[in-house]
């Protein structure tokens, strides 16, 4: 069995388990005690998937260094560019406390949320610009 089929099967099983837990959580309705058990299970599953993803990415990066130096250099450049984009987003963030529904949120929460939004905006702009550039280049090449 190919690794692609194994991974697809695992993803399908995780999706089904998550859907069942989500369904039971929705069925609990306003019963917060009943729903909290399923919420905790979903959060735990999300954490496990995050850890597995980070470990798999790190192992893949390390193996890639030994297999292809050129590919590893491209990956390091990509991480550096992403780091620069993060620094730009972080510098644009406003670290000011704010109040919402009689709850005061700290400057740290506000700043990190703002930095995340700026990072999203920057990456979305880059993605849209690259899609537009690719579309224009395909259109121009198709006219030859």
Alpha carbon 47 to chain centroid distance?
Answer: 13
Cα–Cα distance measured from residue 88 to residue 80, given in angstroms and rounded to the nearest whole number: 12
pLDDT of res. 143: 61
Closest residue by Cα to residue 108 from 121, 93, 123, 122:
93
Alpha helices in 2-144 (DSSP H): 3-28, 32-67, 69-92, 107-142
Instruction: Give me the pLDDT at residue 1, please.
Output: 55
d(CA 116, CA 110): 10
Query: φ and ψ at 98, to 5 degrees?
Result: -145, 160
- Domain locations in the chain? 1-67, 69-144
Q: How confident is the model at residue 37 (pLDDT cuts 50, 70, 90)?
A: confident
Inter-residue contact 119 to 86 (CB < 8 Å): yes
pLDDT tens, residue by residue, 70-112: 877 888 888 899 999 999 998 888 877 777 777 777 777 778 8
- Give Rg (Cα) of the chain: 22
pTM over cut 0.85: no
């Amino acid at each position: 069995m190919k690794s692609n089929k194994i991974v697809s099967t695992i993803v399908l099983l995780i999706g089904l388990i998550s859907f069942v837990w989500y369904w039971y959580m929705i069925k609990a309705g306003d019963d917060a005690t009943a729903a909290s058990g399923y919420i905790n299970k979903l959060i735990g599953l999300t954490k496990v998937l995050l850890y597995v993803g980070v470990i798999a990415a790190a192992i893949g990066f390390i193996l890639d260094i030994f297999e292809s130096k050129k590919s590893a250099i491209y990956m390091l450049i990509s991480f550096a560019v992403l780091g620069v984009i993060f620094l730009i987003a972080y510098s644009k963030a406003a670290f000011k406390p704010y109040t919402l529904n009689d709850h005061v949120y700290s400057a740290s929460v506000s700043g990190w949320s703002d930095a995340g939004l700026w990072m999203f905006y920057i990456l979305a702009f880059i993605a849209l610009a690259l899609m537009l550039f690719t579309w224009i280049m395909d259109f121009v090449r198709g006219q030859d």
